[in-house]
Chains A and B, each alone.
Chain A
Amino acid sequence: MAAVAAAASIAGMPPSARARPGPPGVTVTVVPLVADDDALARAEAVLTPGELARARRGTPAVHRRRVLLRAALRTALATELGTDPRSVPLTAGAAGRPELPAATHLDAGCSAAGDLGLVAVGRGSRVGVDLEPVAPWTPDVAEEGWLHPTELQAIAALPPGERPVAATRAWTRKEAVLKARGTGLRDDPATVLTAVGRTGATVAGWTLHDVPVPDGWVASLAVAPDEEIPR
């Protein structure tokens, strides 16, 4: 079967996802999480029993989202590894963070919001990504405590029409950093102070990128070189 191995660099492309140009060493893919029964069954076919069990624990909508997102993540990693999605040595860390063997020099992150998902693959870098639908800006949000006073002031200084996107942007940046660290909400999002109204900033060693996604969503990516991972 030597010839099969030689052709192993040809990998499957998901039917409904597109890689977007990202920072060097990182590929970000936008994944519509919409599928009919057949497509869902095909996505389930590339998941491990553990992943399927986790998906199955969720409600129907969560189930579908987890299956499609995980399949998309596997497919994106398969492209990098020149293998098929089912063979990707993907595991989950303690807080659910995707993990890959160090020898692959790959790191992965993903996020889903409604019918849209995002998959990030870092080569030689550690990544975190977050996608959120733009939520209305209300005084209640300000009270939730995840925005730093500086951020609150900066958002309040914006024209009202720009506040929802700015607040959602701040959230996605915080989440991207927390997910890149692997701590998730075990770290308080307010401790990640983001630069409202600026792009390309750095937070505690993580370089932040705005990921282009359809109107109505906001997504951010946090990246740091693998050799020196700030936490």
Chain B
Amino acid sequence: MTLAPAAPQLASFRARCEEVAGTALDAPGALHTFSVERPEEFWRALLDWSGVPWSGSADVVLTGTDVETARFFPDLRLNYAEALLRPLDDAGDDAPALTAVHADRPTDTWTRGELRDAVARTVTALRRLGLAEGDRVVLIAGNTGETAVTALAVAAIGAAVSTAAPDMGAASLLGRFGQVEPAVLVLDRRAVGDDVVAEVVAGLPTLRRVLLLDDGPLPDLGVPVDRLADATADAEPTADWPRHAFDTPLFVMFSSGTTGPPKAMVHGAGGTLLEHVKEHRLHVDLGPGDTLYFHTTTAWMMWNWQLSALAVGAHVVVHDGPVAGPETLWRLAADHGVTVFGTSPAYLQLGQDAGLRPAEAVDLSRLRAVLSTGAVLHDWQFDWVAETVGPVPLQSISGGTDIIGCFVLGTPDLPVRRGRSQTRSLGLDVAAVDEDGHEVVGRVGELVCRRPFPSRPVGFLRDPDGRRFHDAYFADHPGMWTHGDLVEFDADGSSRLHGRSDGVLNIDGLRIGPSEIYTVLRQLPEIADAMAVEQRDDSRPGGSRMVLLVVLREGARLDGDLDRTIRRTLRREASAAHVPSLVVAVGDLPLTHNGKRSERAARDAVNGDPIANAVALRNPGCLEEIGRAVAAASAAPAGPEEDDGLLGRVSRIWCEVLGLRSADPDDDWSDLGGTSRQVLSLLRRVRLELDADVPVQRFAEDPTPAGLARAAEAATTAAPAGATVLRAGEGRPVFLVPDAWGQLNLYAGLVERLATPRPVLGLRLPLVDAGGRHRTVEDVAADALAQVRETQPQGPYTLSGYSFGGLVAYEVATRLRAAGAEVGCLGLLDARPPQAALSRWETERVRWAGRWATLRSGAALRRVLRSRERPSAPAAAPAAPDPELRFFLGTQEVSEAYRPGRFDGPVDYFLAEGSRAAASRTLGAWRRRVRELRVVDVPGWHGDLDDERIGMLSDRHVGTLAARVSAALDRP
């Protein structure tokens, strides 16, 4: 279903222009050609056709042909707020005008009549508080209805308004608003911190008054403070909508420049209104019956743009809440019957990455167009919208704060070509030009506007002679507005943006000024010159990487050493963001005829694109070499060279896991974006390919390629097959036997805290056979014995194990003794004797205790099974469908079946406090078999891993355990 009229408004306007032109304008591009070649007729026709109320004279449309100086409608007067709020034929006073959606309170709504009344009362209140034509107001608030009402009231008076999002810091706010020299500050403290308020007020000496949109207590700020609601409570709605000159300042906007403070640009009321009405009606086909939601903050020009949609009778939805996830805005669009939804490539990508299908998740039946701006919209995003949102046009629009509108956008009379903006903005003579200012079609050029347009800023603040304004837009190509974007137009008028033209790199969304790189590289005597360019990364759609072209001094060579020096220096002196993905030595850098460096030509060359400005270059021949050199370097084996030894091999794996081309030995894992999860993939690769088992804890201590190489070195040289070094040391090893899972991890805290200079080794023992059946304790112990013997041919031996591991350690010790070897120390960590070792009497007692405990606690069978001091019959296994119990049961079964033999020596038994009661019934089984059982009490429970009780090996108790085990090691 669509609410748009069958014939778009563009058709009616085209007919109007055909009358004026006296010729048909239905050929492709004909209307745009008319609009730029006959600007007086076009803009006058638009003014009349749009019905925007005005007075004075519209006879003079344009005062000249120079885009820098020409003025539109010098004798015309209008009122922006009046134009937005006037009654319309198809949008009367009862028609919805504004809906404000909030994160934390109910939605507010205004009809057109209510909104006009609210603005009219606010006008009266602001006038009473002293606001007058020509004043400037700054507004720090979220995107709410009150913000819109206030801004419209300020505009109605003929004052200018500058809006900022509430989440800016005081420094950014003052960097902008200091230039505005505002008379009044309007604040919504629901969204601004009080200290920011105090700092901003203190930094704005021109303030006469502060007005609050919230109803919190009035602060003492050193200037008069009022609540706007109080001031409007008894205000009569004004009927006085004075009309002001076309260029009357309406909005002060800021452009985040790459150098110097933000540029404070002034947009006039007439130019803003005409441009917006034109874009809304002709390009978006917006009108009464439409509901527009464009996701924006008050700090972005799309806020101003969407506000103006009131002028065409559309219902505007604003939203001050968060985007909690990929579905948030689609749901908002569905909830409010949005017909035209505006968003960004990033938000669309969020949905795509999350596998969202918006049209299935929410009801988007009223939606008829999706607009996207803010960054380049990629081909695949068109496909995603078509597949998951529906057959609505996805219009990629692009322009900027500088023109408070769009250079390229959509149109209702043409199909959408994926990856492209549909058309040029009517009335704007937009083109791509080469370095000489000649138009290029079908290849990338500088985006310019060659003729005057009404929404050009009136000027900059704090720029009395217009020099900054001139330098910002008119210095590169005389007589043209040079926007600073790269664009490629097709013959059909469609276009695609290609990023910034000013040499600023945009790597993965972060803007990087190359000048900092060049400054740093001056320290390196080997480098004569350098140029950093952005290259499309074909392995990551939409991604890009930095290629650094270097010209070397005579005698210097770009070898591995110099490459690393360059990277290390940039990382140290600039930041990781300034480190290139690829460093390539070239003979020459492209220069234009007048000696300017051409980053653009170099970028085309590294991307393998046709060189857009070859004729403008003094040395175009160097580009071929650059292209070849970059291609060769890209094709070279990725990453570090194998002959770098272990570090090189570690670095290669490191790079492959992280998807990087190179790594510095001192690079930090997480600085490069490596996650904890990826660490495990990395260590698995190191284990398989370098045969080095690096414990994850060891890696965490020094998470760099160099650190990993050292850890791998230690692991490969120190560890005999099967036994792994848990902690290096001197002397006879302390062997730890794995637990019921074959794991050594649980000993980490113990290993760390053992007070001994001796090395601590862990045995690696398979617990199940090839068929998945659990091996007997005796079989496991046979493997363990072999590993112990291989590592340490002569006794005395020190062995320890927890629970099941204790049983294995006991069996190994028994066999060592039987073979005549000396066992210096055998430690059993809460290793309950197996059932097969118990006497009939002991077994009965254990059974009854277990049953009683089960009944008393009402706990499930699983609990009993896990509480190792209360054994239960393995026969219960079928009753436990939970697969995670199977391994337990398997180990349990072989444990209980183990029949320990006699051990002719002392045993240190570390009895967990929580096991004491059960042990009183079973320890006799050990005492009967060993020469001496020395029971050492330790705090904590036995501590099966998923038991919520705190185990003896847990962080909390392992210190005590370690101290007592250490003491046992020292015992003679």
* Residue ranges of A at the interface with B (Cβ–Cβ < 8 Å): 1-8, 10-18, 20, 30, 32, 34, 36-43, 45-46, 56-65, 75, 78, 83-87, 113-116, 132, 135, 140, 143-146, 148-151, 153-154, 156-157, 171, 175, 181, 183-196, 201-205, 213-217, 230-231
CB 8 Å contact bits of B93-127 with A (1 = contact, 0 = none): 00000000001100000000000000000000000
- The B165-200 residues at the A interface (CB cut-off 8 A) are 165-172, 189-198
Whether, in the assembled complex, B5 has its beta carbon less than 8 Å from a beta carbon of chain A, the answer is no
| Known interface pairs A7-B219, A213-B325; A132-B677 also in contact (CB < 8 Å) | yes
List the 10 closest A-B pairs by CB distance, nearest first.
A45-B169, A231-B955, A84-B193, A18-B324, A60-B510, A188-B745, A193-B945, A157-B883, A144-B680, A34-B346
**Docked complex Cα distance between A132 and B169 (Å):** 31
Chain B residues with CB under 8 A of A30: 324-325
| Known interface pairs A17-B324, A57-B576; A195-B884 also in contact (CB < 8 Å) | yes
CB 8 Å contact bits of B796-833 with A (1 = contact, 0 = none): 00000000000000000000000000000000000000
Whether, in the assembled complex, B415 has its beta carbon less than 8 Å from a beta carbon of chain A, the answer is no
User: Which listed residue (A59, A75, A156, A186) contacts B671, Cβ 8 A?
Assistant: A59
Pairwise interchain contact B353-A115, C-beta atoms closer than 8 A: yes
CB 8 Å contact bits of B320-331 with A (1 = contact, 0 = none): 111111111000
Residues of A contacting B: mostly: mixed
Chain A residues with CB under 8 A of B695: 188
Pairwise interchain contact A15-B194, C-beta atoms closer than 8 A: no
**Docked complex Cα distance between A114 and B349 (Å):** 11
**Docked complex Cα distance between A40 and B346 (Å):** 14
Pairwise interchain contact A175-B676, C-beta atoms closer than 8 A: yes
Whether, in the assembled complex, B512 has its beta carbon less than 8 Å from a beta carbon of chain A, the answer is yes
Whether, in the assembled complex, B790 has its beta carbon less than 8 Å from a beta carbon of chain A, the answer is no
Q: How far is the CB of B162 from chain A (nearest CB, A)?
A: 14
User: Which listed residue (B196, B347, B884) contacts A196, Cβ 8 A?
Assistant: B884
Chain A residues with CB under 8 A of B167: 12, 14-15, 39, 42-43, 75
| Known interface pairs A4-B219, A157-B883; A32-B323 also in contact (CB < 8 Å) | yes
**Docked complex Cα distance between A16 and B329 (Å):** 11
User: Can you give 24 A-B contacts (C-beta < 8 A)?
Assistant: A3-B218, A13-B191, A15-B166, A20-B324, A32-B323, A34-B347, A34-B349, A39-B167, A42-B167, A42-B168, A83-B193, A86-B169, A86-B193, A149-B767, A150-B885, A184-B700, A185-B679, A187-B955, A193-B945, A205-B948, A214-B326, A214-B327, A214-B350, A231-B956
Chain A residues with CB under 8 A of B326: 214
Q: How far is the CB of B351 from chain A (nearest CB, A)?
A: 9
Measured CB to CB, the nearest residue on chain B to A133 is: B353
**Docked complex Cα distance between A104 and B626 (Å):** 58
Pairwise interchain contact B670-A62, C-beta atoms closer than 8 A: yes
Chain A residues with CB under 8 A of B671: 57-59, 62
- The B332-369 residues at the A interface (CB cut-off 8 A) are 344, 346-347, 349-350, 353-356
Pairwise interchain contact A13-B355, C-beta atoms closer than 8 A: no
Chain B residues with CB under 8 A of A201: 946
* 16 extra A-B contacts, CB within 8 A, seeds A59-B508, A191-B745: A2-B220, A4-B194, A6-B217, A10-B189, A15-B167, A56-B576, A58-B576, A60-B508, A60-B510, A63-B510, A86-B193, A116-B325, A185-B676, A187-B748, A191-B945, A195-B946
Q: How far is the CB of A199 from chain B (nearest CB, A)?
A: 14
Whether, in the assembled complex, B928 has its beta carbon less than 8 Å from a beta carbon of chain A, the answer is no
Chain B residues with CB under 8 A of A39: 167, 297
Whether, in the assembled complex, B511 has its beta carbon less than 8 Å from a beta carbon of chain A, the answer is yes
Q: How far is the CB of A102 from chain B (nearest CB, A)?
A: 19
**Docked complex Cα distance between A45 and B673 (Å):** 22
Measured CB to CB, the nearest residue on chain B to A134 is: B355
Pairwise interchain contact B322-A59, C-beta atoms closer than 8 A: no
